[in-house]
Copies of this chain bind each other. A is one copy, B any other.
Amino acid sequence: MTVQTDAYPTRQKTSARDYMVRVDPVVYPSLLEAGEGPLDDHDLRCFEEKGYLHLSGLLSPDYLATLNQEAKRMRDHADRNDDRVVVEPTGDQVRSIFAIHQQSDIMADLMRSETLAPIARQLLGGDVYLHQTRLNFKPGFEGKEFYWHSDFETWHSEDGMPRMRALSCVVALDENMVHNGPLMIVPGSHKLFIPCPGETPENHFKKSLRKQEIGVPSQEALSMLVEKWGIDSMVGPPGTVVFFDCNAMHGSNGNITPHPRNNLFFVYNHVDNRLVAPYCGRSPRPEFIAHRK
């Protein structure tokens, strides 16, 4: 019997002030020939230091219009009885649609395109696959907040992602402004792992995708991170692309403005970092949230 060691213990008895230093690299460029990827040294150092990279001008206005049209089509045709469709905690508005690359060739093409995937391959040092893909809709007037979290904390404990060798790519379909609830990242927070208190309930995802309550860092830990590193808001015109590390602490405020804030969101994981049994001891979450093959 193989004993599965846990590099990042969480969801156990933990003090509000506990944290550990990340043991995995952030950028793996050493595996690639110098100059082979699309990012230059400055970009690589920036990602390593801040845990994110904010890029613009990668997608043409025409292509962006196609993506926008496709996103709206998917939302308008979303079947609320489909598990892949998540509605807002209050009301019936669509909040997320998961596994969009399996439902749309246009979305799949974007994620596998030579525009975005090579950036992920360069940062993660080799071949990658799609761990999770989704469309996030933050409607105007009543879009709710996404509370602070590290994606890796959940992917590790609930999906069995062994190590920090994954990243998210967000494509802004709308303008992200300071006042329509933009993605906020604590720059540098990816260097520390914050264990979260509380045992994971069975089928936790059914609730957590609407409003997360387990896998949430303590206020003491968040205050410590923000005091150390501050908060960066990911604002920019439609088509802005943000890559961010799987362990970056992030969240977003609600949105009472009339401006919706819809984003495409997909996660590249390195092929050597494929999922094992969840570290929280529960059954794995469904395939549409965490692809296992």
Contact A253 B255 (CB under 8 A): yes
* A211–chain B nearest beta-carbon distance, Å: 12
Contact A256 B178 (CB under 8 A): no
Residues of B within 8 A of A37 (CB): none
Given A179-B184, A179-B233, the answer on whether A258 and B141 have CB atoms closer than 8 Å is: no
Q: Which 6 A-B pairs have the closest CB atoms?
A: A178-B178, A223-B258, A254-B254, A253-B253, A226-B258, A145-B256
List A residues 122-140 near B (Cβ within 8 Å).
140
Residues of B within 8 A of A283 (CB): none
Contacts A179-B231, A253-B253, A253-B254 known; list 14 others, CB within 8 Å. Answer: A141-B219, A141-B222, A145-B256, A147-B256, A148-B256, A179-B233, A184-B256, A184-B257, A222-B258, A226-B257, A226-B258, A253-B255, A253-B256, A254-B254
Q: Within the assembled complex, what's the spacing in Å between the Cα atoms of A226 and B255?
A: 14
* A212–chain B nearest beta-carbon distance, Å: 12
Q: Does A187 contact B (CB under 8 A)?
A: no
Contact string, A218-230, partner B, CB cutoff 8 A, digits 1/0? 0100110011000
Q: Does A197 contact B (CB under 8 A)?
A: no
Q: Does A236 contact B (CB under 8 A)?
A: no
- Across the two chains, which residue of chain B brings its CB closest to A257? B231
Q: Does A251 contact B (CB under 8 A)?
A: yes
Q: Does A181 contact B (CB under 8 A)?
A: yes
* A239–chain B nearest beta-carbon distance, Å: 21
Residues of B within 8 A of A254 (CB): 145, 253-254
Contact string, A248-264, partner B, CB cutoff 8 A, digits 1/0? 00011111111100000
* A236–chain B nearest beta-carbon distance, Å: 14
Contact A179 B257 (CB under 8 A): no
- Across the two chains, which residue of chain B brings its CB closest to A141? B219
Contact string, A137-153, partner B, CB cutoff 8 A, digits 1/0? 00011000101100000
Residues of B within 8 A of A255 (CB): 253
Q: Within the assembled complex, what's the spacing in Å between the Cα atoms of A89 and B47?
A: 40
Q: Most B CB atoms within 10 A — which of A178, A253, A259?
A: A253
Q: Within the assembled complex, what's the spacing in Å between the Cα atoms of A141 and B222?
A: 9
Q: Within the assembled complex, what's the spacing in Å between the Cα atoms of A255 and B259?
A: 18
Residues of B within 8 A of A147 (CB): 256
Contact string, A175-215, partner B, CB cutoff 8 A, digits 1/0? 00011010010000000000000000000000000000000
29 A-B pairs with C-beta separation under 8 A = A140-B219, A140-B223, A141-B219, A141-B222, A145-B256, A147-B256, A148-B256, A178-B178, A178-B179, A178-B233, A179-B184, A179-B231, A179-B233, A179-B253, A181-B253, A184-B256, A184-B257, A223-B258, A226-B257, A226-B258, A226-B259, A227-B258, A251-B256, A252-B256, A253-B253, A253-B254, A253-B255, A253-B257, A254-B254
